[in-house]
Amino acid sequence: MPELPDVETMRRYLQATSLHREIEAVDVHSDQMMEHTSVQELRQALIGRSFDHTCRHGKVLFVALDEGSDDVLLLHFGMTGGLAYFKAMGEEPAYDRLLLHFANGYHLAYYAMRKLGQVEVIDDVERFVRERGLGPDVLDPAFDLATFKELVEGRRVMTKAFLMDQHTVAGIGNVYADEILFQGGIHPRTKINRLDEETLEGLFHAVKDVLEQAIACRAQPDRFPDTFIAPHRHEGGRCPICGAELERVKVSSRTAYYCPECQPKEG
């Protein structure tokens, strides 16, 4: 599932390819992901306009339209979504659900093998974030250690569950939660209220460091540092630090991979 580094990579991709290009036509090949916006409303908002700038909150990408419009295109990529910018028709990706045609002869496709994403036109990003109850974006410069500690205070959930709760902090999913815990040396089932001050501070810095490194690698596991556990999250995978075979455990109905040596269980 696309997590914060994947969505940030796609944001930069769209920013580099698709800004300030007039949208001539909009093809919707599946409207199942458009629960709150009709096809007609989408076309009315986009055709004749161009994208002006982008922003992201957690796993959600927002693309603002040019001056004179308050509309913002919202893209959530579900489990399998992505973007592709291309010129020749016939090069479009499989499972394209939304296809934008630009006046320069190029096209932008939103694709998703599984129809679990979201496409919507909104007029206020901050209100959307507030109404959906999303927590702070973990890479927002304002998200500092003091804010992190405030969110932790009074919580008694497992640390992995805390990291993945989008209403608490926005952007972290299953894969990067495992990586953050590995880098912090924390067992995924450790209750977050059991972490001492030093470990909690290390967890905060691991959140920032892991996500920033993943973005620098364009969210491609084969580019990750040799010390990352993510490329080894499979049956028979081994710890990149000590060589121990990774183990699995369920946390909030999700499978967590961890090293039993580097992330010992409490007690």
pTM of the model: 0.95
Q: Give alpha helix (H) positions in 19-57.
A: 39-46
How many Å separate Cα 236 from the centre of its chain? 27
Identify whether residues 41 and 150 lie together within a single domain: no
Residues in Cβ contact with 244 at an 8 Å cutoff, skipping those fewer than 6 apart: 238, 259, 260, 261, 262
Final residue before a domain boundary, out of 104, 131, 158: 131
Q: Please report whether residue 22 resides in a domain.
A: yes
Q: What is the pLDDT of residue 68?
A: 83
Alpha carbon distance 186, 193 (integer Å): 13
Q: What is the pLDDT along the chain (267 residues), one digit of tens a residue?
A: 699 999 999 999 999 999 999 999 999 998 888 989 999 999 999 999 999 999 999 999 999 999 888 999 999 999 899 999 999 988 889 999 999 999 999 999 999 988 889 999 999 999 999 999 999 999 999 999 999 999 999 999 999 999 999 999 999 999 999 999 999 999 999 999 999 999 999 999 999 999 999 999 999 999 999 999 999 999 999 999 999 999 999 998 999 999 999 999 875
Structure tokens that stand for 61 in this block = 């990408």
- Residue of 130, 190, 109, 135 lying closest to 4 (CA atoms): 135
Residue 145, H or E segment: helix 145-152
Identify whether residues 57 and 157 lie together within a single domain: no
Q: What is the pLDDT of residue 114?
A: 84
Q: Please report whether residue 266 resides in a domain.
A: no
Identify whether residues 150 and 172 lie together within a single domain: yes
Amino acid letter, 234 = H
- Residue of 46, 30, 27 lying closest to 81 (CA atoms): 30
Residue 27, H or E segment: strand 23-28
Identify whether residues 117 and 45 lie together within a single domain: yes
- Residue of 94, 58, 92 lying closest to 75 (CA atoms): 58
Count of structural domains within the chain:
2
Q: What is the pLDDT of residue 267?
A: 52
Alpha carbon distance 96, 7 (integer Å): 17
CB distance 100 to 46 below 8 Å:
yes
Structure tokens that stand for 59 in this block = 């796993």
Final residue before a domain boundary, out of 89, 109, 131: 131
Identify whether residues 116 and 169 lie together within a single domain: no
Q: For 100-159, what is each residue's pLDDT tens digit?
A: 999 999 999 999 988 889 999 999 999 999 999 999 999 999 999 999 999 999 999 999
| Number of Cβ atoms within 10 Å of the Cβ of 87 | 10
Q: Please report whether residue 136 resides in a domain.
A: no
Alpha carbon distance 22, 207 (integer Å): 38
Q: Please report whether residue 152 resides in a domain.
A: yes
Q: Please report whether residue 113 resides in a domain.
A: yes
- Residue of 151, 136, 165 lying closest to 253 (CA atoms): 165
Q: Please report whether residue 139 resides in a domain.
A: no
Identify whether residues 120 and 191 lie together within a single domain: no
Identify whether residues 162 and 237 lie together within a single domain: yes
Q: Please report whether residue 63 resides in a domain.
A: yes
CB distance 158 to 188 below 8 Å:
yes
Alpha carbon distance 19, 122 (integer Å): 18
Residue 167's domain is classified under what CATH number?
1.10.8.50
Identify whether residues 169 and 238 lie together within a single domain: yes
Residue 70's domain is classified under what CATH number?
3.20.190.10
Final residue before a domain boundary, out of 93, 109, 131: 131
The domain in which residue 48 lies consists of 4-131
Identify whether residues 9 and 125 lie together within a single domain: yes
Alpha carbon distance 161, 157 (integer Å): 7
